[in-house]
Amino acid sequence: MRSVVNVFFPSMPTWPDHELDLMAFRVNLLWHASKKRSLDLDVITKVREDLLGRLEAMFSSNAMLPRARVAFDRAKPLTNPLNIIIPAYLGLYRATLRCFIEVQYRSSHNNRARWSRILCEYARNADNATEDMSWNKKSEELSAVHLVSETLRLYPSTSHMWVGEDPTQEPAGADIEGIHRTHQVWGSSPLAFRPERWIELKIHVSEEPAFLPFGRKRLSTGAQGYERRSSMCPSRKAGGPRLIAILVACLLETIGDWQVSDSNDQDDVMSPGPLRKGLDAYESLSLRRPSQ
């Protein structure tokens, strides 16, 4: 949560840890509630009002630093910081954890060394303009772009979406996870974490219509002529994928050769197939120093 706040709201004063913890807790509740087709409006309203009250205090005109351009105003939904915080925080948290596990604990020795080197080199040069531009260019060599994109393909920020702007019409459904795991697009092993597929199949991150990690494609046209779109996460343009690469690189360098300890989650981590997708998955996962 602190990474999201620092990246997307750099002009804000430093928030205390307990405020960030409470925000993360409430955001999690709201996110789970919003993913249910039958919404519990009482729960959503209570949590939302509590969260909005805290945000008003944090993003009030008096609290904003001079460089901040807009303060939060409930009467102006577009200024609501939750438009950025909710999708960015949840998407980054889920992807960062799973990318780290895939690279560090589910890969071969050679792949682990190679993938770790690529991510760490990117993180060390993340401020370099030339390196940053590589996210927007096609590359025939494996890069941090491919590692993060493969993570977002296999573990999108949300697996399904219900989209609708007209309350009198049935919402349109989008099976993001299914689209990301079809062999017609992604090859013979769509359930495997294999960043090399992007090069082998000549798939480009910004051009592939079957790659929707941040909900950027039109789903359908409604009766009134408007377009229904899946939710568009702000992370797609404001550094979300880059931040995933940097956070995973930091974990790789910090954790080193620590091993997964015996736990209920260990067998799942070491078994084939995709990792579990729940936000509460791997809560009991822990690490231990390697045996001497």
- Length of the chain as a residue count: 292
- Alpha helices, DSSP H, located in 134-224: 144-154, 176-180, 183-186, 197-200
- Alpha helices, DSSP H, located in 181-239: 183-186, 197-200
The token pair that represents 277 in the structure block: 């997708």
* pTM of the predicted protein model: 0.74
Kindly report, residue by residue over 26-40, the tens digit of the pLDDT.
887 777 776 666 666
Per-residue pLDDT band for 2 (boundaries 50, 70, 90) equals confident
In the prediction, which pLDDT does 127 show?
75
Kindly report, residue by residue over 112-145, the tens digit of the pLDDT.
999 999 999 999 987 775 666 566 666 778 999 9
Three-state DSSP state, 285: coil
Per-residue pLDDT band for 25 (boundaries 50, 70, 90) equals confident
Kindly report, residue by residue over 231-269, the tens digit of the pLDDT.
455 445 446 788 899 999 999 999 988 988 866 677 788
In the prediction, which pLDDT does 231 show?
47
User: Which residue would you say has higher pLDDT here, 242 or 12?
Assistant: 242
CA dist 181 and 10 (Å) reads 36
CA dist 183 and 201 (Å) reads 12
CA distances from 62 to 23, 66, 67 (A): 20, 10, 13
Q: With contact defined as beta carbons under 8 Å apart, do 27 and 86 qualify?
A: yes
CA dist 119 and 252 (Å) reads 9
Give strand pairing partners of 161.
174
- DSSP category for residue 88: H
Q: With contact defined as beta carbons under 8 Å apart, do 81 and 59 qualify?
A: yes
- Average of pLDDT values for 42-48? 81
Per-residue pLDDT band for 14 (boundaries 50, 70, 90) equals confident
In the prediction, which pLDDT does 66 show?
39
- Average of pLDDT values for 172-197? 90
Q: With contact defined as beta carbons under 8 Å apart, do 118 and 143 qualify?
A: yes
